[in-house]
Amino acid sequence: MKTSARNCLNGIVRAITSGAVNDEIELEVAGGHTVVATVTRHSTQSLGLAAGSPAFALVKASSIILMADCSRIRLSARNQFTGRVRQWVEGAVNSEVTLEVAPGLEFTAIVTRASAQELGVAEGIELTAVFKASSVLLGVES
């Protein structure tokens, strides 16, 4: 499978909370971390998602927000992963920042150059990648 999404995470469905319209899916990925996705109930059924089944999550780099020193901040976004900057590519308008959260678990974000400068982005610093469950697309091998 090829995709333009920079973040593709393989995992195992650990839990499904069913709702009338949407379901909440917890996907265990590398390092025992959990990515939470909200998908329609129809999608849960058509993908055949069930606890213990393999699936993958896609998150566009532009959907990820980076935060520094957020230990005293509470957010409604379910997905929050703290890691160290492994790579940083500075562009004229945007910067690409890759965080290593755990061995085999990285998140790449696209942020404005000005935002990267305000955050003091540099290789090795700690940042947190934040994205909403509704920004996660789930898929399965057919």
Chain-centre distance for alpha carbon 127: 14
Mean pLDDT of 34-57: 97
DSSP string covering 11-49: EEEEEEE--SSEEEEEEE-GGG-EEEEEEEHHHHHHHT-
The answer on pLDDT for 69 being more than 90 is no
Averaged pLDDT for residues 3-20: 95
What's the mean pLDDT in 22-39? 97
Which token pair is 58? 């896609």
Evaluate if residue 21 carries a pLDDT over 80. yes
- The answer on 41 and 12 residing in a single domain is yes
Query: pLDDT > 70: what percent of the chain?
Result: 100
Residue 131 binned pLDDT confidence (cut-offs 50, 70, 90): very high
Q: What's this model's pTM, rounded to 2 decimal places?
A: 0.93
Residue 89 lies in a domain: yes
Domain count, the chain: 2
Q: Closest by alpha carbon to 125, among 70, 80, 65, 84?
A: 84
- 14 and 37 share a domain? yes
Mean pLDDT of 120-131: 96
For residue 57, which phi and psi values (nearest 5 degrees)?
-115, 140
- Which residue is associated with the tokens 């379910």? 78
Answer whether residue 21 is part of any domain.
yes
Tell me which residue range forms the domain holding 52: 7-59+133-139
Confidence of residue 72 (pLDDT cuts 50, 70, 90): confident
CATH number at residue 117: 2.40.50.100
Flag whether pLDDT at 125 surpasses 90.
yes
Q: Is the pLDDT of residue 8 over 80?
A: yes
